[in-house]
Structure formats: C-alpha cells, structure tokens
Structure 1
Amino acid sequence: MRIVLVHPAGSNWLPGKKDFAAVANRMAPLGLLSIAAFLEKEGHDVAVIDCLGPQAVSGTQATVNQILSHDPDLVGFSATTSGFLDAYDLAAGIKAVRPQIGTIFGGVHISALGGVLLEQFEDVDYLAMGEGEITMGRLASGQNLRDISGLVWRHDNQVVTNPRRDHIRNLDDLPFPAYEKLAGFPKGYRLPLFSYTMTPGATMVTSRGCTFQCAYCDRSVFNQGYRYNSAAYIYDHMHYLRSRFGIRHLNIYDDLFTLNRRRIARLCELLMRKPLGIQFNCAVRVGHADDDLLRMLHQAGCLMVSVGIESGDPDLLEVHKPGVYLDGVRDTVHRIKSAGLRVKGLFMMGLPGETPASIQKTSDFVMSLGLDDMNMSKFTPFHGAPVWKTICDEGTLEENWRLMNCLNFVFIPKGIASKAALDQLYNTHVKRFYSDKAWRRTFVKRLWQHRRSLGYLLAHLPGFLNAMRTFEPTKDA
C-alpha cells in the first residue's frame, strides 16, 4: 500500500504575530517517523510530509497537491489539539479531489476525544487510539476492520469503537525512526538555541508512559504504564544517528529518563567505554537522580539536565504535581550543578488556583535557584488531562483548539483579573529571569561555546528581535 504520513503545521505562536517557532526550534515528528519505519518494514511504500519542516510548501492547497503527488491509498495525520483543524483542512482537501483515499488520524487529541471526532468531521475515515504502529500496520495490510484493536471507524453511518490495543511490550522490537524520510534532516531541524555546543542536533525518545499523575498532563496515548528501550538499543540508536547523519548533540525528551536507574547507568557505561562523540540533554524528576548517576551522566557526555518544577508555590505543587516539594527541587538543582552539569528549570504559569501572589512566589523561586536556563509554558488544559474534568469550575476557558498550544493563555484562573493581566505577569517574570545580571554574566562567559547558536541567531536576527518583543510588559493591562 502507498501511504503518506503528515505532520500538520498547526498554530505554534501567538495570534497576530509571525510564526517563528519552527525557525527557533524545529523538532522531528518522532511518532510519525516511528510509524513510517514500522510500515516500511512491513513492506509498504511510505512518504512523510512535515508541514513544519525546512522544505515545507506554503498553504493548504499546495500541501494537498504535494500529498496527492504520491498517489496514496491512505493518508495518516498525527495531530495535537492545536494541529487538528489544520490536519482536517488537509483531509477535506484530499477528499474533495480523490474521495476514495482513506484518511486516518492519530495522536494525543484523537486518543483523548475518540469517536466523537468521527461524528463531527466527516472527512476523517478512521481514528487510531493509543500507539499507532501496529494499528496502522493492520489497517494497511487489509485486515478486517472489526478485528483491528485500537481502531475507530464507521459502519452504516454509525461510529464503531474497537477494543483498545495493548501496549507494545518490548520497544526494542521497533525499528529506529525513519529520519531519512524528512526533507532537510538533520541540518534543517534545530534544537533550542544555546542548549547545545555541537551541531547538527537531533531528538530522541527512549521510553513511553509515566507512572505519575500530574493534573495537567495528557496521558491518553501511553497511559500510566512505563516501558523503555534497553541501554544497548539506545546506544545503537545513538550510533546510527552519529554514523548515518553526523549527529553531534541529542535532546532526549523522555518524561522519566532516569526512572530505571540501572538502564541509564548501563548506557553511561557504554558511552564512556565506546564514546560516540555525542553530547546530549535529558530530563530528570525530583527524587530520581542520585549523585553517582549524575556524575556518570556528565562523564558520558550529558551537557544539560531539565527538571520539571512547574511552580514555586507549595500549595499549587501539592495539587498539580504531588510528591514534588520545594526543598527537594533545591536539592536536586544543587546536586545537578555539583556534578558539573547545566540545569534547566521547566515551569508553568496560569494553573488552576494561580494568583498574582503565587506567580510572584514562583518568580522568586526561579531566581533563587541559579538556573542555567528556564522555560515558562502557558498552562493549557487538554481533554486527556485529569484537570479537564473540573477546569470550568476553576476559571474561564476559551476552547479554541488552534490556540491550545502552551503558547497562549486560553484558561484564566479565578484568582487572575483578566487575560491581559496574566499576559503581563508572564512577560514581566520571563523577562526578569533573562535580565538577571548573574545569569547574563554566565551566558556571556559561554558565548564562544555557543558560537553556532550565536551565528544562527545573527542570521535570523530580525525574527528573533520581533519574538523578544513579545515579552515586553504591556502598559494597559
């Protein structure tokens, strides 16, 4: 079967502003690439179109034409909430020209909402719930629709939801993602500026699922189970990226990279014994990174470790990230730095229960930690997150899917006067971090290490300056 897999552009910036996000940080769509590799291994002819890629065509009709140029039998879309409507516009465009082409949607938005999407969007033929590799493989092979676990489909104009598919038990059975199907990979795919010292870079995920239940996190695809690649598989994956594409830096985007300590210790041993010339960044959860493991990560080539902190208000942490405490965060950050690693704090503003006072606590906490970098996302409630059930009791929600991308405030907590007020608080406290004299001194000392990022920034300076103005506090809020 001829199959085209599409990563839709979606909305990745702010209304009224130029979408500069993909230039600053363009990630490979790893989920689609995993499905592509699996389908190709099954004998299918697969193409991947990344609508955020460096060689993407502009406009819905141009993308539809590009998809149709492959003469597909089936087109698959991986959709987040903010990307779903763009994906549907493409599906509708395909159906208008060749209605016989099958369309299937998968991803977090689909797994959270399920069959209701088939009721409301007639140009979607199938939904893949949960992990997509085997479901797509069964569909492409022509298996009876009733026998394909994880599939949602129509029969006599009625939506049929098949039983959920069991998780893939051994992730080592999956082939490496089909990076080679991305036009412009790897040089056109950029890691966040100043998060690396060597190029080119790439991304990797080495586990699926999470054992914790943070209130804001959508677990629709992988649920609470936790599965992972072995250390040997990860090493071979890294070796493949280094030898095939010349990759020098990897960002590993696991939710719980160090949860299984033994596999990471084994990976570090492999990287120390047989170095690949690769640096990498990873994330740890508070309480899951002891001193010996942190030292091993540093010796194995780790440059920076991210820590999910979310808030500096202990009451909000108790509700939204149970089991994480401020003292534990301070200790974890201190030990990461003591091991010779850089540390990046991950925060979230606008959670249910947020007030100007809690935001001030978070800002003060951020400044007290001596972080090397910080990311403050704008809280976005998603259908598959536990908080969704009560979100309308906690404040006001604008359920505009195109804006639900963690870059816009679509939810305003009861304790915040208005969206304008929340935007002003956000801009003020993000700018506070990057204006700090101590942070700037450290940043300047490292400029030569980051000369590749600096050169890229200078080459795209007008766009970056425009993006920076987004964080200027407004006067009329």
Structure 2
Amino acid sequence: MSEQRKTDRPAPLVHAPRADRRRVLLTAAAMPPMGTTALHYGDLRPPMGLGFIASFLERHGHEVRICDNYLAPLSMESEIEEFRPDIMGLYMHTPGYYMACDLIDELKQIAPEVPLVAGGPHASLLPHNVPAGVDYVCTGEGEHVMLDLAEGWRPTERVIDNAKTQRIKELDDYPFPNYDHFVDKAYNWGFDIYGRSESPVFTMHTSRSCPYRCTFCGVAAIWTRKWTAFSADRIVEEIDAYVERYGCQGVYFREDLFTTDLRRVERMCDLLIERPYDVVWACESRADITSERVLEKMARSGCIGLYCGIESGSTSGLKKKKKDLTPETMRIFFTLAKKFSINVYATLCMGTPTETEEGLAETEEFLAEVEPFAVDRFAFLAQPRSEDSEYVERNKLFYHKDSAGILYTDRFREMSQRLYPPDDQRLYFLEQQRQFLEENRGRLSEAELAAHRFSPMPSELADAATSSTENEFRQNL
C-alpha cells in the first residue's frame, strides 16, 4: 500500500477478521469555553462524520475507538496509553479551531510517533491552515483516505485533496455509523427543538452536499454541489435496525438538505407507513415543498418537524442571497405544513453584506404573517469560503481576521447586539475582542492579533448566559 491507493476497492459486506488489524483512534476537540467564540454551539448530537469513518474501518476488520472531547473532555493520555493506536484521526470544524490546535499539540506530545490525520469542514475549507503538527490533511470524504493510511499508504503530499476527485458514488454500499460507539453517552437524544418528548431520537446523515448556491454558505467549497445520497430503502433498513436494537423512537435527519430529491422522500414515507412500528422524524429542508400530497405523506409517516433556513422574507433579499425561492412559495409551504401539523423551525442568517434595513423589516413582517413554530435569528459571520465571505475579504469590509480564517465586520457586531440578549456569550466575546484590538493594534503584528486567545466568561456569567439561552429557546417555540 505504500506506492498507491486502492481507491476502487468495494466495501466488504461483513466485518473481515484479519491478522494485520490496525487500531484507529478518532477524536474531536473540546467545546470552546463560553465567551471565547462568536459562533453558536451545536446541540450535542453524536458525531456522524467520525461514525461513518469508524464503521467503514470496522467493516474492513480494523479496531476503532472514538474519543469525543466535544461531548466531555477526556484524558487523551489515558485513552492513548490504553488503546495504543496505530493512527489517529481528528475532526476539525471552524468553531472549534483553537481547541483543535490545543488537542493537536497534546496528541503529538503524548504520541509523536503515531501519524495524525485531520479532516472535517475546516480541514476541507482551509487545508493549509491546519497546524503543522498534523501529518496529513484530508479534504472531503474521509472513509477511503483513513483506510488507506491505516493500512500503510504514505502519500508524498501532506494535503490529500479528496473533495472533488474521489467522491463516493454509491453510498448504499457503505455502512451507516455504528451506534454502539454512542448509545451509552450523554448526547442529545431528544426532540425538544420541536416540542416533542420522544426519546431516544437517532441522528442520521443520509446525503452529502447541497445543490443550491446560497451566498452565505460554504458547503459547496467542501463537497462541490454534487449531491449524493443513500436510497430510501437503505435508510429504512437502518431505521429498522435502530428500532430493533436500541428501541429508537425518533430520527433526526441532520444533513445539509434531506429533501433535495422528493421522490426519495416519498419512497421513504411509503416504506415507513408500511412498517409495524411508529417513529417520529424531522429533517433539514427548504421552504419550497408545495405539494400537498408529499407533505401529507410525510406527516402520515411520522414527520413532526422541518428545520428550514428561510433567511429572508423579502423578494430582493432572497435574490441577493441566491436562495432560488420567493415569499409566495414559502407562504404556500408554511400553510401546508400547518395543515398537516408539521412544526417548522425557521432560521435566518441576517446582516449579509448586501442585505438592507428595508429587507430586514420585510422579513420581520413575513415572519409575523407565516408564524413558524420557532424562529432562530443569527447574525451573519463571514466564515471561510462562502461567496459572502469572499465578498467581504475582497472589498476589505472586515476589521479583523483571526487565525481560524473568520472575518469580523462592523455589521456583524451591530447585528449581534441587535439579535442576541445582553448576557449572551457571543456579546461577551465581542466586547473582549474590541478591547483587545483597541489596546494592541499597532503594538502587535497582525499575526499576533489573529492568534490571540480570549478568556472564558467567569462561571457566574456563563451560568447566567446558559440560563438566558435556555429561556430564549423556550420563547422561540
């Protein structure tokens, strides 16, 4: 395997016992402390990216341990001493960039001889931004790269560009994540986001990428716009297994866009309706489903919620954000969703470079008219490789760029103050940042300014911010 990759190997159908089994440790960095980031935190679902890679490696006969520090910090020294990995893989996303840098240093101090591979959204978007302690950086899908590296392949280049040239064509041939890695952990197993009490709710990723072109989103830079997916039959087979093995009561399809192919959605609904069990489900969708037949079938098969980035209620705002949607289409969607008791959780990325105050006002009027089940408003922050972030950088509209590649604008700061409660941890971070830059710009180099790490909120303020966030969430429902 040292000369070339076997990229065309089919995935075996069963676990293959082998004498040359490798031990692969997959990990993610700890959650950033409150007050140290301008980005919001996730809702602590199991890490599907690591899960897919783990299952693929296990199917090829290798042993995998997942150490998810994002859920709860672990003693990596103890984990490595006990497991003795042959290779390690690190998931990197932009919100956790600085914590990942710390983890890279820690891993290399504990086991400098063990190859370390970085992947995930941040590594795919900015591969040359990954710290030098990482031996290999994988862009795009990681299953085959991790398998080949585990089995001895050593490329001459540090960055393995897997995003465009090596996309998996038939996802049905590949395993879903093995939930044995996750079921005994304190992840979010509920559906409180949609006002439901069912548990356990299992997270599924059944497709990759998104064919649309929203200006604020960097997904296409990770995957290209080529959308690939598991078939409806394969999805329901997996749900069958979750119900039988774990007592699954719900499924949350947390991918970029579950409803890209409505024929696939309908087929899945037909299969679920035929099943002897009942599960509720929700998914990420566009607000463009205007077929009464489709939404009725979704509801009958158990759909209770749709997570939709509507982004604007203004015709001009939707055009500027390249949503390929109109307010009229969204009105039909909301009317039909309510008819079939499907709760729509609407999110909005507000304050993009071309968004006007008039457009923001029209959006609030639209929200008052359609009355989503819940609304979450986020201030636009220029994260790497989106069309809007490139516009901000090209036109020098930012006052600061940090080591993670995030561009901070006056508009972001103003929108954050408008949208978030006064004790929100993001505002605490921005105030720290303002004071630091005022005191040190001109005294420190741009690289030193970019690399600065901010202090966490004092515990009493962090507790108050957490309580405020929970109250805001309940008010949004």
TM-score after normalising by structure 1: 0.78
Alpha-carbon distance between aligned partners in 1 of 2:162 and 2:341, rounded to the nearest angstrom: 50
For the structure 1 residues 361 and 123, does the alpha-carbon distance in structure 2 shift closer, same or farther, using more than 3 Å as the test? same
Q: Tell me how far 1:125 sits from its aligned partner.
A: 0.3
1:357-372 equivalence runs, <5 A: 357-372=358-373
Deviations 1:180-239 (A, max 9, x none): 112634765455544433111121111112111111111233210011111111101111
Pairing 1:31–2:28 present: no
- 2:145 aligns to what SS in structure 1? helix
Counterpart of 1:365, as a letter, is: F
The 3-state SS of whatever aligns with 1:83 is helix
Q: CA deviation at 1:173?
A: 1.0
Match of residue 315 from structure 1:
316
Residue identity matched to 1:117:
N
Q: Quick check: 1:68–1:94 contact (8 Å CA) kept in 2?
A: no
Tell me what 2:177 maps to: 177
Give matches, 1:7-406, under 5 Å: 7-11=28-32, 13-15=34-36, 21=41, 25-53=43-71, 56-57=72-73, 62-114=75-127, 116-117=128-129, 121-146=131-156, 152-153=157-158, 164-182=164-182, 184-185=184-185, 189-218=189-218, 219-392=220-393, 393=395, 395-400=397-402
Distance 2:85 2:331 in 1: 53
Q: Bigger shift: 180-189 or 103-112? A: 180-189
1:423 aligns with 2:406: no
For the residues of structure 2 that align with 1:283 and 1:136, how far apart are their CA atoms?
28
Alignment size in residue pairs: 411
3-state SS in 2 of match to 1:203: strand
| Aligned 8 A contact 1:186 1:200 in 2 | no
List per-residue Cα deviations over 1:28-72 (Å, max 9, x = no partner). 11011000000111111110011122xx236xxx33443443211
| Aligned partners of 1:346 and 1:374 also within 8 Å | yes
User: In structure 2, do the counterparts of structure 1 residues 247 and 186 end up closer, same or farther at CA, with 3 Å as the change threshold?
Assistant: farther
Query: Is the Cα contact below 8 Å between 1:27 and 1:189 reproduced in 2?
Result: yes
Inter-CA distance 186–166: structure 2 relative to 1 (3 Å threshold): same
- Structure 1: how far apart are the matches of 2:163 and 2:316? 39
Q: Is the 8 A contact 2:313 2:364 kept in 1?
A: yes
Contact map agreement 2:138 2:160 (CA 8 A) in 1: no
Tell me the secondary structure at the aligned position of residue 176 of structure 1: coil
1:340-360 Cα shifts (integer Å, max 9, x gaps): 322221211221123444333
Q: 1:447 corresponds to which residue? A: none
For 1:272 and 1:387, locate their aligned partners in 2 and report how far apart those are by CA, in whole Å: 42
Select between 382-391 and 201-210 the one with higher mean Cα deviation. 382-391
Which amino acid in structure 1 is aligned with residue 402 of structure 2? N
Aligned residue identity for 2:270? E
Q: Which amino acid aligns with 1:57?
A: P
Give the 3 Å change call, closer, same or farther, for CA 78–397 of structure 1 in structure 2.
farther
Distance, in Å, in 2 between the alignment partners of 1:122 and 1:16 is 23
Give the aligned residue type for 2:301.
A
- List per-residue Cα deviations over 1:424-448 (Å, max 9, x = no partner): 321379x9xxxxxxxxxxxxxxxxx
SS at match of 1:310: coil
Structure 2 counterpart SS, 1:48: strand
Secondary structure of 1:258's counterpart equals: helix
Give CA-to-partner distance per residue, 1:58-93, whole Å, 9 cap, x none: 6xxx33443443211211111111223212211211
Q: CA deviation at 1:395?
A: 2.9
Structure 1 residue 267, shift from structure 2 partner: 0.9
Q: Alpha-carbon deviation of 1:282? A: 1.5
1:324-371 Cα deviation digits (max 9, x unpaired): 111211121112112332222121122112344433332222222111
1:141 Cα deviation after fit: 1.2
TM-aligned CA distance change 1:333 to 1:384, over 3 Å = same
CA distance, structure 2, for counterparts of residue 108 and residue 329 of structure 1: 30
Report if the CA contact (8 A) 1:10-1:85 is conserved: no
- Identity, % of aligned positions: 25
Secondary structure of 2:348's partner?
Answer: strand
**How many angstroms apart in 2 are the aligned matches of 1:387 and 1:187?**
33
- Using the TM superposition, name which of 7-16 and 175-184 deviates more: 7-16
Assess if the C-alpha contact under 8 Å between 1:204 and 1:253 holds in 2: yes
Question: Within 2, Cα distance between the matches of 1:163 and 1:130?
Answer: 4
C-alpha spacing 1:427/1:87, structure 2 compared with 1 (3 Å) = closer
CA deviation string 1:89-129 (max 9, x = no partner): 11211212321011110011111122x236xx221100011
Q: How far did residue 321 of structure 1 move?
A: 2.7
For structure 1, the 5+ residue unaligned runs are: 147-151, 154-158, 405-409, 432-460, 472-477
* SS in structure 2 at match of 1:105: strand
1:212 partner letter: Y
Matches of 1:397 and 1:183, distance apart in 2: 44
> C-alpha root-mean-square deviation of aligned residues, in Å?
3.0
Preserved CA contact (<8 Å) 1:216 1:320: yes
Report if aligned partners of 1:191, 1:202 keep a CA contact under 8 Å in 2: no
The separation in 2 between residues aligned to 1:162 and 1:268, in whole angstroms, is 33
Counterparts of 1:463 and 1:357, CA distance in 2:
31
